[in-house]
């Protein structure tokens, strides 16, 4: 489910409310991708700071008596979502983590359990450091532009869509938004990365930024079950032009949208509008 827009929309929907709250209890459900990495009792009475986002990860800083106490790194995997509510229902079979605070309970629900909640001594050490090192630039940073993209892509021979999904050039574009951005830029997702001109890289960088920004504005994509921490659904999927639309007419030229598989993931594109 969650690509950068869903993670950012989730963050925005509870950041103000959890900032400054005190941890009262922690409940663990079934194992997630990694163990929590700290004894739960060590987290009690910690103060939660303002949640930050890096790529598709969220970082919840913690402190005790104004002293830095590391933080929690969260990832929603394929099927995760967070809720932040004052009176949570009894945990269901897919509710695997509750952070009970003075301001409400942050609950991770994740049927497939590809998600993660891990404690690290800081955002750039421990497991958090290891996971975040090697991530590409943030798409909304000034640093991310056509030149950066061109310089990175010219060294790759993989298909451009696979390179975008990799997250080591630019973070945040998952399967939906990579497809949509390539459509917006008019680039064939199967095109070899190193053969894309500087000019087209500029268009692609712009398309990635705009696609992700628009998705944040629309509250993300709710294909089946995404909700932000307030329980609101997203609406970007209503505006998707190729993702999930195999066989349907391209909204620009009417040619049927094609589906191919790249790196074991479905890719959707218009064979007429998108060129190598």
Partner DNA sequence: ATGGGTACCTGTCTGC
Partner DNA sequence: TGCAGACAGGTACCCA
Asked whether 51 and 11 are in contact (CB, 8 A), the reply is yes
Binding of DNA by 131 (CB under 7 A): yes
Q: Pick the closer one to DNA by CB: 104 or 234.
A: 234
Helix (H, G, I), strand (E, B) or coil at 77: coil
Q: Pick the closer one to DNA by CB: 45 or 112.
A: 112
Footprint of DNA on 86-105 (CB under 7 A)? 93-94
- Cβ at position 121, least distance to DNA in Å: 18
- Cβ at position 78, least distance to DNA in Å: 4
Active-site residues, by number, are 2-3, 56, 265
Binding of DNA by 66 (CB under 7 A): no
Binding of DNA by 47 (CB under 7 A): no
- Cβ at position 20, least distance to DNA in Å: 28
Footprint of DNA on 219-258 (CB under 7 A)? 220-226, 234
How many angstroms separate the CA atoms of 246 and 160, rounded? 20
- Cβ at position 103, least distance to DNA in Å: 26
How many angstroms separate the CA atoms of 240 and 251, rounded? 10
Q: Pick the closer one to DNA by CB: 75 or 203.
A: 75
From 47, 53, 107, 113, residue interacting with DNA (rule: CB under 7 A)? 113
How many angstroms separate the CA atoms of 275 and 266, rounded? 18
How many angstroms separate the CA atoms of 195 and 221, rounded? 31
Q: Pick the closer one to DNA by CB: 193 or 274.
A: 193
How many angstroms separate the CA atoms of 247 and 2, rounded? 25
Footprint of DNA on 147-176 (CB under 7 A)? 155-158, 162-163, 165, 167, 174-176
From 148, 256, 265, 272, residue interacting with DNA (rule: CB under 7 A)? 265
Backbone angles phi, psi at 183, to 5 degrees: -65, -50
How many angstroms separate the CA atoms of 100 and 85, rounded? 10
From 2, 70, 104, 136, residue interacting with DNA (rule: CB under 7 A)? 2
Helix (H, G, I), strand (E, B) or coil at 194: helix
Total residues in contact with DNA, by rule CB under 7 A: 45
Binding of DNA by 136 (CB under 7 A): no
How many angstroms separate the CA atoms of 111 and 273, rounded? 37
Handedness of CA 18, 173, 171, 2 (dihedral sign): positive
Give the start-end residues of each E strand in the chain: 23-28, 47-48, 52-54, 57-64, 67-75, 81-85, 95-101, 104-109, 116-120, 258-262, 265-269
Q: Which residues bind DNA (CB under 7 A)?
A: 1-3, 6, 30, 33, 55-57, 75, 77-79, 93-94, 111-114, 130-131, 155-158, 162-163, 165, 167, 174-176, 193, 220-226, 234, 263-266
């Amino acid at each position: 489910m969650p690509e950068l827009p869903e993670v950012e929309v989730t963050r925005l929907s509870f950041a103000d409310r959890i900032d400054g709250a005190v941890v009262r209890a922690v409940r663990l459900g079934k194992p997630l991708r990694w163990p929590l990495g700290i004894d739960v009792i060590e987290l009690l009475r910690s103060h939660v700071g303002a949640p930050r986002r890096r790529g598709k990860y969220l970082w919840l800083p913690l402190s005790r008596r104004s002293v830095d106490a590391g933080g929690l790194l969260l990832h929603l995997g394929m099927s995760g979502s967070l809720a932040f509510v004052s009176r949570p229902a009894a945990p269901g079979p897919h509710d695997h983590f509750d952070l009970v605070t003075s301001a409400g309970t942050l609950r991770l629900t994740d049927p497939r359990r590809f998600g993660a909640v891990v404690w690290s001594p800081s955002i750039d050490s421990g497991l958090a450091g290891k996971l975040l090192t090697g991530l590409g630039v943030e798409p909304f940073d000034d640093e991310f532009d056509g030149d950066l993209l061109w310089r990175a892509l010219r060294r790759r021979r993989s298909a451009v869509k696979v390179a975008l999904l990799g997250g080591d050039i630019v973070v945040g574009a998952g399967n939906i938004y990579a497809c949509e951005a390539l459509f917006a830029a008019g680039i064939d997702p199967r095109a070899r990365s190193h053969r894309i001109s500087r000019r087209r890289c500029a268009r692609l960088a712009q398309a990635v930024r705009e696609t992700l920004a628009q998705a944040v504005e629309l509250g993300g994509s709710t294909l089946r079950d995404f909700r932000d921490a307030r329980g609101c659904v997203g609406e970007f999927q209503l505006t998707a032009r190729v993702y999930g639309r195999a066989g349907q007419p391209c909204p620009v030229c009417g040619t049927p949208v094609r589906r191919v598989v790249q790196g074991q993931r479905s890719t959707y594109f218009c064979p007429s509008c998108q060129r190598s």
